[in-house]
Each structure stands twice: as structure tokens, then as C-alpha cells.
Amino acid sequence: MQAMQIAQRPVPLLTPELPGTSGLVRVAEDDFYVEELPLYEPSGAGEHLYLTVEKRGRTTPEVAAEIARYLGARERDAGTAGLKDKRAVSVQRISVLSKATPEEALRLQGRGFRVLAAARHGNKLRPGHLRGNRFRIVVRGVVPEGIARARAICARLAEIGVANLFGPQRFGKYGDNAELGRAILLGERPIRDRFLRRIALSALQSELFNRCLAARIADGLFATAIDGDVLKKRATGGLFVCEDPRADAPRVFSGELDPAGPLPGHSLFASSGEAARREQAVLAESHIDPGSFASAGEEMQGARRPYRIAPNDLRVEPAGDDALVVSFALPKGSYAVSVLREISKNDVEEADSSA
């Protein structure tokens, strides 16, 4: 009974009144294209090679390990800013601690990958060393009115933003990672594998965030400030607690600020008032005692994530009689499904997390 209490809960749509296009994504591998937007450019000097790599049909760890071997480096000496999906065409940065020259690296290619650019830099790429991701996604089998419907939805999303939810891939092939995370947290499932523990506890935090987000949308509080909200400045990333919703609500509406929901943990930037009561209600419903977070140590410190994100350069173009192309850019950590589900109004298999 308890194991089912943290099963995934759907996040309501923001545009339910606008009819969708229907359709399928990733009918072919080339239908899903994602390009990493780097946080910085390589300096041209340093011990690490920064490679811009195009891959398809391979996972990021597989390609990074293979490139490291080709360059005479250890697998652990390769670094990436984010993981890209296997069944897609992806362009991303991979760093390798190697004495090989950029010219030698440029000649590298293997099954499902090729190096597009190479330069030197002084540090290893770490997770999160990116600004975001740019997507180009083909939706096939759309209704005859698909283009008009998609453009109407995109115009609305450009005004209100999209829900910064965690996509299905976050929760594992069978959707049970969050349940495992809850069992680990409560001591019901001792897991020694550190990687599995981290993945499961992260999935638990993600599901709790999605539940808080779902409640905000359901109650009409997606794009406004409430008493005690943690608000994030879109320009700088700074956080502060809302003490006067009447003063902060217009700043949220304009896009200057975004309410930031919890990835629960023992060192979380605390909300107060009504916002805190809403967050505590989600934990109580899931039968999770906040006092248990400390037992997970560094794996569950907690963080704040905006409930809302703004898709950049959101465009729709026809791609044949019953297909369309959706292109947009999202900040790091956001999921393409946030946009695709609003357009198609279907359950969308998420292909890539812009981690």
C-alpha cells in the first residue's frame, strides 16, 4: 500500500482549452535533434581537450568512454555537462584529459559519433556546465489542422511560459524510481550501490516537486506569488522569500520572478507561510517525515527549482502533409516534454533531459 503512495502523478496542462495536434515524436531517429548550449567557450590552452561531438544511436557515457580510449585516456578522465538520449541526434561537449592534439581529435569518428570541433581548456567538464539545450523535434501523424493548432498553443506558451516538470525518463523505465527512493529514505530498502541510491533519491525529490507543481496549476497559482513563496530572479538566479504577494505578483506576471518549488532536503532554502504549508501538505500526503532527509546526507541536501520556465525561439513549421517541426531552447535541467505535451495533448515519451 505504501509503495503506491509515491507513484507518479500527472501535472495538469496549462492550455487544456486549446485543442492539440495529436501525433507521434521520434518515429525516426533524426526526428529528435538536441544541441547543447555551452556555458563557456574553451580558452585554447590547458590539459583538457574540449570536443564538440555529434552522436546518434549511442548513449553519452558510451561515446565518452570510447573517445577517452582512442585518446589514450582513462574513462574517468572524460567529462560531460549533461546526458543526451540514445535514440536521437545530439550535439554536445565532451572533455578529455589527454596529450593528443586538437587536430588528432578532429579525425576521430566511430560507430554513431563524430568529432565536429576540438580545442584545449583548463578544466574538466562537470555536470551542469551548460546554459541549456536547443531542440528541433518532428511530430508526425498530426491532425489536418495541426499547424494552426500548434501555432496557437505556442503563442499562448510564449505569453505564460511552460511548466518546468520532470519528464517520465527521470523516473526510470518502469516508473518506479521514486518509490525506491522513498523506501531507501525510510530505511525499508537498504541499497549499497551509491549510483542507484543517488538516482532513486533524486527521482523521489523530482516526484515531490512535480506534485507541488501540479497543485499550483490545479489551484490557479502557477504564475503568481503567494505568501511565503521562494521567488527566483530570472536574470540573476537569486532567491528570496515573498513577504508581500501584492507587490511581487506583478513581477512574477511580467517574468522578472518565478516561484521556485522544492526539491526537498535537509538544507533547503526555506519557504514560509502559505507556501510552506502547501509544501508540507505534499510531504504529509506522501507519508514522508522531513526529519528523515538528514539520513540521506549529501544525496538529499535539497534545492529550489522554478515552477515556470520561458521557452526561447519557440517556432512551428510544416514538415509535410501530416507532420510539423517544433523548435525551441530551454534552460538546463528542463525537459522537452514540457512543450511537446501542450502541443500534442498526448502522452509524450520524453527523449532528453537537458541536465
Specify the pLDDT at position 305. 98
Q: How confident is the model at residue 9 (pLDDT cuts 50, 70, 90)?
A: confident
Listed in sequence order, the residues at least 6 apart from 346 whose beta carbon sits closer than 8 Å to its beta carbon are: 20, 22, 23, 24
In a domain, 3, yes or no: no
Confirm if 98 and 73 have CB atoms less than 8 A apart: yes
- pLDDT tens column, 86-141: 889 999 999 999 999 999 999 999 999 999 999 999 999 999 999 999 999 999 99
Q: Is the pLDDT of residue 2 over 70?
A: no
- Rounded Cα distance between 239 and 187, Å, is 33
Residue 71 belongs to domain with CATH number: 3.30.2350.20
Q: pTM for the complete prediction?
A: 0.91
Q: Are residues 194 and 288 in the same domain?
A: yes
Question: Does one domain contain both 153 and 249?
Answer: no
Averaged pLDDT score across all residues of the chain: 93
Residue 222 lies in a domain: yes
**Is 231 inside a domain boundary?**
yes
Task: Determine the 3-state secondary structure of 153 from DSSP.
Answer: helix
Residue with cell 538536441: 34
**155 and 15 co-located in one domain:** yes
- Exposure string of 85-96, with b = 16+ CB inside 10 Å and e = fewer, is bbbbbbbbbbbb
154 phi/psi in degrees, rounded to 5:
-65, -35
150 and 14, same structural domain? yes
Which of 112, 126, 118, 124 has its CA nearest to residue 62?
Answer: 112
Q: How far apart are alpha carbons 245 and 353 in whole angstroms? A: 32
Catalytic residue selected from 30, 31, 77, 85: 85
In the prediction, which pLDDT does 164 show? Answer: 98
- The predicted-structure confidence for 190-218, as pLDDT tens digits, reads as follows 888 888 999 999 999 999 999 999 999 99
Residue 4 lies in a domain: no
Q: Is residue 1 part of a domain?
A: no
Q: Note the pLDDT tens digit of each residue in 305-341.
A: 999 999 999 999 999 889 999 999 999 999 999 999 9
The pLDDT of residue 169 is: 84
pLDDT value for 189: 87
Please compute the mean of the pLDDT values over residues 266-286 and round it to a whole number.
96
User: Residue 5 — very low, low, confident or very high, per pLDDT cuts 50/70/90?
Assistant: low
Share of the chain above pLDDT 70, in %: 96
Same domain, 146 and 119: no
Mean pLDDT of 137-160: 96
Domain boundary among 273, 288, 309: 309
Q: Within this chain, do residues 151 and 15 fall inside the same structural domain, yes or no?
A: yes
51 and 188 together in one domain? no
Q: Is 257 helix (H, G, I), strand (E, B) or coil?
A: strand
Which one, of 11, 12, 18, 9, lies nearest residue 344 by Cα?
18
Domain, as residue range, for 325:
10-38+134-161+314-355
Express each pLDDT in 213-254 by its tens digit. Answer: 999 999 999 999 999 999 999 999 999 999 999 999 999 999
Does 78 share its domain with 203? no
- Asked if 31 is an active-site residue, the reply is no
Residue 190: the pLDDT is: 86
Mean pLDDT of 137-155: 96
How many structural domains are present in the chain? 3
Regarding whether 183 and 297 lie in a shared domain, the answer is: yes
SS3 state of residue 101 = coil
Residue 5 lies in a domain: no
Q: What is the CATH number of the domain that holds 201?
A: 3.30.2340.10
Q: Assess whether 48 and 25 both reside in one domain.
A: no
Check whether residue 148 and residue 210 sit in a common domain: no
Domain boundary among 69, 101, 127: 127
Q: Looking at the structure, tell me whether residues 115 and 142 fall in a common domain.
A: no
Q: What confidence tier does 280 reach under pLDDT thresholds 50, 70, 90? A: very high
In a domain, residue 258? The reply is yes
Query: Within a domain: residue 292?
Result: yes
